[in-house]
């Protein structure tokens, strides 16, 4: 789902939720909350800002704010996108349980505000949060944080008409292979024709990357995970890199595996279980997971830079 589609959806939802706006309604900038100057501890400052991030936006004062195709509760939708992005970066700095709790609290406030002020159009925040945390091309995507949010949307009166199953599916798929849980095992056929399993490989760390050697973006993954500094970890036995092809054209895949580093373990999914979304929700490739020795998920659908930094610090 690209940004244009998301903005269109947000605008349409806002129009549906808004009543006609009187002339006295006003526009405003997004009201950022700053920590008191007396706070010095970085963790304390982060906690204060992220837990109170929406205080100014969900203002219970008497001011009447613009609500139309480009405003949600007085703030332009184009300004809400970077605001939600900042919020997402703060959530990423919290542990997963805390981040989920904070985002759930934000959604509860949204629902309460929508009931008190149906003309505010605050339900239009839903597709913006979706774009930031769930869009597969968003650098801030985090399905683990987003999953409970999608589940809450599905059961809420704010859920857009006809979209209940859509958000239920998002919640279900996003919950697969969360950070801190055991990754799903699967079988694959390697380049020698041998049947192997993910759990049958052994190393201190495993990078599981779903990849198509012919795609342009996958070339970036090959470049990063083919660096000599990282391949040293493979050669030492501390790291395995599994490049798994999840589509049907096995012949083409075999032809192109020569372009992948020989230190990798390369294979394809003969059951198409991964592509069908029953084990992993791969919405774009490449998609990389970092696993520990017990195959517990450390990083999920990780940005390549984050993955590279993690490996270089530990291998």
pLDDT tens per residue, range 248-291: 999 989 998 988 999 999 999 999 999 988 899 999 999 999 99
- pLDDT at position 26: 87
Q: How far apart are CA 160 and CA 6, in angstroms?
A: 13
Identify the pLDDT of residue 315: 84
Q: Which residues, 6+ apart, have CB-to-CB distance to 83 below 8 Å?
A: 30, 32, 75
pTM of this structure: 0.87
Residue-wise pLDDT for 181-229, tens only, equals 999 999 999 999 999 999 999 999 999 999 998 788 899 999 999 999 9
Tell me which of 34-48, 53-67, 134-148 is least confident: 53-67
Q: How far is CA 23 from the centre of its chain?
A: 39
Residue with tokens 């609290």: 105
Rounded average pLDDT over 65-91: 95
Provide, rounded to the nearest whole percent, the portion of the chain with pLDDT above 70: 92
Q: Is 173 helix (H, G, I), strand (E, B) or coil?
A: helix
Given a cut of 80, is residue 97 above it in pLDDT? yes
Residues contacting residue 61 through CB under 8 Å, at least 6 positions apart: none
pLDDT at 44: 96
The torsion defined by the Cα of 39, 129, 278 and 273, in degrees rounded to 10, comes to -100
Take residue 308 and report the two structure tokens written for it.
């590279």
Sheet with 187-190: strands ordered across = 195-197, 187-190, 265-268, 239-245, 205-210, 287-292, 297-299
The answer on pLDDT for 5 being more than 50 is no
pLDDT at 8 over 50: no
The pLDDT of residue 42 is 94
Hey, is 294 helix, strand or coil?
Answer: coil
Distance (Å, whole) CA 291 – CA 277: 19
d(CA 144, CA 157): 23
């Amino acid at each position: 789902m690209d940004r244009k589609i998301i903005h269109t959806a947000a605008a349409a939802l806002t129009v549906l939720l808004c009543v006609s706006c009187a002339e006295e309604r006003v526009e405003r900038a997004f009201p950022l909350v700053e920590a008191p100057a007396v706070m010095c501890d970085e963790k304390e400052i982060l906690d204060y800002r992220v837990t109170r991030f929406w205080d100014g936006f969900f203002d219970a004062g008497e001011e009447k704010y613009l609500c139309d195709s480009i405003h949600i509760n007085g703030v332009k939708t184009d300004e809400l996108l970077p605001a939600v992005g900042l919020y997402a970066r703060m959530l990423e700095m919290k542990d997963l349980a805390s981040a989920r709790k904070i985002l759930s609290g934000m959604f509860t406030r949204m629902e309460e505000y929508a009931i008190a002020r149906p003309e505010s159009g605050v339900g239009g925040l839903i597709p913006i949060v979706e774009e930031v945390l769930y869009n597969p091309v968003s650098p801030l995507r985090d399905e683990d944080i987003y999953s409970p949010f999608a589940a809450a949307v599905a059961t809420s009166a704010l859920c857009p008409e006809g979209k209940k199953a859509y958000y239920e599916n998002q919640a279900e798929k996003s919950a697969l292979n969360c950070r801190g849980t055991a990754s799903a095992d699967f079988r694959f056929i390697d380049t020698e024709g041998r049947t192997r399993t993910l759990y049958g490989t052994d190393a201190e760390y495993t990078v599981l990357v779903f990849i198509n050697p012919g795609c342009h973006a996958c070339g970036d993954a090959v470049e990063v995970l083919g660096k000599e500094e990282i391949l040293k970890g493979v050669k030492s036995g501390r790291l395995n890199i599994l490049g798994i092809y999840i589509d049907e054209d096995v012949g083409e895949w075999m032809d192109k595996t020569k372009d992948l580093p020989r230190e990798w373990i390369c294979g394809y999914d003969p059951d198409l279980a991964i592509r069908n979304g029953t084990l992993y929700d791969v919405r774009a490739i490449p998609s990389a997971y970092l696993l520990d020795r017990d195959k517990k998920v450390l990083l999920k659908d990780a940005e390549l830079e984050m993955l590279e930094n993690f490996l270089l610090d530990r291998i």
